Structure 1
Amino acid sequence: MSRPSKIIIDLAAIQANCRLAQSIAPHSKTVAVIKADAYGHGAVEVAKSLEPQVEMFTVSCLEEALVLRENGISKPILLLEGCFDISELKIAADNQCELVVHSRLQLEQLIDTPLKTAINIWLKIDTGMHRLGISPQEVGAVYAKLAASKNVKNIVLMTHFAHSDHIGGEHTAMQISRFEDCIQPIVANANQKVELSMANSAALLAWYQTRMDWNRPGIMLYGLSPFAGPIEAASKLIPAMNFESQVIALRDVSTGESVGYGCTWEAKRPSVIATIAVGYGDGYPRTAKSGTPVLINKQRAPLAGRVSMDLITVDVTDLANVQIGDNVLLWGKELSANEVASWAGTIGYELVTRMPRRVTRHFVS
């Protein structure tokens, strides 16, 4: 019998979430974001399940792309951070990767490096995120240099939003306006259609103006809403990851006795404490506070005391018929990772992407 902590990935849920993304913008093409091992869900397995459904995948870097190629994924793959040095350019071209260009250095390296095959380029424009991207003032000149290069096959113009999870926020409206203003001369003077890409998950769900030729759904594919509050479209998402374990011990704790490291939780009444085989070594957040919910046999129970490397303790005094071996849902379809994350001072994105190899993954469809 192996250690009971495990992750169950529902590939059918991911496919359904992708269909939802596509239904929101039926005339757009889909770039499925599967960076960081598909947000912890297994990039190879997710790519295989989505390959018939999407036009392209995107990852952060060449290493992630090569893993997909080695496992038989043939759809185009976009490298969101482009290439980090000249040596990667030829490998990317040979493996049918498309590149984001976000700096003058990348532009010069691309133009100056002899390539056997021209590459599709996504020119990233910094409209207000201020991490990566060409300034709006430079876009025309950079686009012209790319268009004149024999190494460039096609150019997509893209940007990324800093605050699209704030519905109706001024910052996103400003970014949209900046993007439209700086691309207008290029689009107006081009001999052929210039393809555009703006929408991430939040923008796709809430900002209709951002639904362009290519949309880039990420977190929504995995069934997590990017919004702090409820919105109708996001309510249809199906969480794809169930993080589960089991009760491995039960004990009675007297009033005034403490539980766990640091003695941070003290029984205010005679209590029953369940010990569960999961901890921060399995990806459960150490910062989760006492009171963080888990589900035992579909009943809510609060965390009692600090999370340790291998174990957590939960107050089950008010639950009926808890037994050793009972199933525990740490997050998933019936308990959102976003809710657990709020107790841990983080976001659902981090919880699902930081899962270690010690936890076995099981894929269902």
Structure 2
Amino acid sequence: MRLACAEINLTALNHNLARVKELAPGSRIMAVLKANAYGHGLVTIAQNLVDADAFAVARIDEALALRAGGVIKPIVLLEGVFRAEDLAIAATSNFNVVVHDEAQLVMLENAQLASPITAWLKLDTGMHRLGIEPNQCHDMYTRLERCVSVAENIKLMTHFACADDLDDGKTTEQMALFFDSIKGRNNELCLANSAGIVGWPNSHCDWVRPGLMLYGVSPMIDSTGQDHQLTAVMRLTSSIIAIRDVKAGETVGYGSAWRAASDTRIGVVAMGYGDGYPRHAPNGTPVMIQGKRFTIVGRVSMDMITVELGYDDSVALGDEVELWGPNLPVEQIAQFATTIPYELLCNITPRVEYKYIQE
């Protein structure tokens, strides 16, 4: 009997990378591995994405873990660096650094580095999170060009706010603002995240940076990865550790949040919010057992969930339960739990066993 396990299908991972190449054949691929590769295992995922051209992470500790794991391809720090000592580490480790505000530029101007750093200048075209104002582009770019700590091949990027919605015109507005702001320049460009890759071909440019779609999950609203010829990489499973008879009118779990309408059976599954399963998943959230859908009843607890089995005699103690995966898209579980797939994948906790497979 195997308890909480995240089975990571590396064949599916590379299928999804190939799908990115199909959708953006003229672009190089910057595979996004932040947040432990969206919960899939940072170093192992990087080691198996052999056809990616570069990797992107949020923070320098993630980049250092990749280097320690033997990854030699370019690594981009999407948030840049915030301390002079980290800038020196980035130069020594050959990390690319995103510059998204003047303080980071000043740090570069004041630095004495072992070697120049490849810089990405990020423009804020409407996300209003990180990035310089478009009207700062000429001045900031000129200063980067003059900076002895910056390599010659400065690159330009932005980030979309609403690319997951094809009916929202903001992505078109962001692209127009970006191209207008960099008019006359012949730099390498990166605009498209996963949603841009799938839904906005005009955004592909020199580089694309797939994140969620690499893991087989749809970056678009109201769809699953299967709708875009993607294959789920993570299959989260556990086992039934007890089966109980419950009589009509009896309740199950904390707060007596579910009451049996008739005599039934309950399967107790070794999976809870201590493993990363969402505590707020409501009654009716599906699981898969032996190819059939059953539903959660009662509150998710730290170590267990309870599933109504009825009197399906085919379900037995020790049976495997799929919480999400190829047979039960994580996008659907996210809808039940009123969250997004990103959160579910990233919240897998260290006590879950990881098993990497090739098909």
Q: What TM-score do you get using the length of structure 2 for normalisation?
A: 0.97
Residues 111 and 319 of structure 1, relative CA distance in 2, 3 Å threshold: farther
Amino acid at match of 2:132: I
Aligned counterpart, 2:172: 173
Residues 231 and 48 of structure 1, relative CA distance in 2, 3 Å threshold: closer
For 1:175 and 1:336, the matched residues in 2 are separated by: 31
| Contact map agreement 1:299 1:319 (CA 8 A) in 2 | no
Amino acid at match of 2:208: N
Aligned counterpart, 1:31: 30
Residues 231 and 353 of structure 1, relative CA distance in 2, 3 Å threshold: closer
| Contact map agreement 2:217 2:224 (CA 8 A) in 1 | no
For 2:223 and 2:245, the matched residues in 1 are separated by: 39
Partner SS for 2:183: helix
Give unmatched runs, 5+ long, in structure 1. Answer: 188-192
Aligned counterpart, 1:44: 43
1:176, CA displacement in angstroms?
A: 0.9
Partner SS for 2:79: coil
Aligned counterpart, 1:305: 298
| Contact map agreement 2:224 2:331 (CA 8 A) in 1 | no
Aligned counterpart, 1:6: 5
Q: After superposition, what is the alpha-carbon deviation per residue over 1:71-104, rounded to whole angstroms, capped at 9, x for unaligned?
A: 1100010000000211101100110100000000
Aligned counterpart, 1:287: 280
1:22, CA displacement in angstroms?
A: 1.1
1:235, CA displacement in angstroms?
A: 2.7
For 1:40 and 1:111, the matched residues in 2 are separated by: 36
For 1:233 and 1:94, the matched residues in 2 are separated by: 41
Partner SS for 1:184: coil
Partner SS for 1:303: strand
For 2:80 and 2:225, the matched residues in 1 are separated by: 35
| Contact map agreement 1:127 1:159 (CA 8 A) in 2 | yes
Aligned counterpart, 2:183: 184
Amino acid at match of 2:66: L
For 2:224 and 2:65, the matched residues in 1 are separated by: 36
Q: After superposition, what is the alpha-carbon deviation per residue over 1:133-174, rounded to whole angstroms, capped at 9, x for unaligned?
A: 000010010001001111111211100011100113111111
For 1:234 and 1:258, the matched residues in 2 are separated by: 39
Pairs within 5 Å for 1:267-286: 267-286=260-279
Partner SS for 1:282: coil
| Contact map agreement 1:76 1:97 (CA 8 A) in 2 | yes
Do structure 1's residue 93 and structure 2's residue 105 form an aligned pair?
no
How many correspondences in the alignment? 357
Aligned counterpart, 2:140: 142
Do structure 1's residue 161 and structure 2's residue 154 form an aligned pair?
no
Partner SS for 1:81: coil
Aligned counterpart, 2:61: 63
For 1:169 and 1:235, the matched residues in 2 are separated by: 19
Partner SS for 2:118: strand
Do structure 1's residue 327 and structure 2's residue 320 form an aligned pair?
yes
Partner SS for 1:45: helix
Do structure 1's residue 259 and structure 2's residue 258 form an aligned pair?
no
For 1:157 and 1:319, the matched residues in 2 are separated by: 58
For 1:346 and 1:108, the matched residues in 2 are separated by: 39
1:112, CA displacement in angstroms?
A: 1.1
Partner SS for 1:162: coil
For 2:240 and 2:52, the matched residues in 1 are separated by: 40
Partner SS for 1:152: coil
4+ aligned runs moved over 4 Å, structure 1: 231-234
Q: What TM-score do you get using the length of structure 1 for normalisation?
A: 0.96
Aligned counterpart, 2:102: 104
Partner SS for 1:119: coil
Q: After superposition, what is the alpha-carbon deviation per residue over 1:297-352, rounded to whole angstroms, capped at 9, x for unaligned?
A: 11100100000000000011163411000010000111011111111110111001
Aligned counterpart, 2:81: 83
Partner SS for 2:192: coil
| Contact map agreement 1:301 1:319 (CA 8 A) in 2 | no
1:358, CA displacement in angstroms?
A: 0.5
Partner residue of 1:202 out of 191, 195, 204 = 195
RMSD across aligned positions (CA): 1.3
Amino acid at match of 1:13: A
| Contact map agreement 1:40 1:353 (CA 8 A) in 2 | yes
Partner residue of 2:338 out of 337, 345, 348 = 345
Do structure 1's residue 355 and structure 2's residue 322 form an aligned pair?
no
For 1:318 and 1:124, the matched residues in 2 are separated by: 58
Residues 226 and 320 of structure 1, relative CA distance in 2, 3 Å threshold: farther
For 1:311 and 1:291, the matched residues in 2 are separated by: 16
Residues 328 and 46 of structure 1, relative CA distance in 2, 3 Å threshold: same
Partner SS for 2:274: helix
Partner SS for 2:288: strand
Amino acid at match of 2:12: A
For 1:100 and 1:106, the matched residues in 2 are separated by: 9
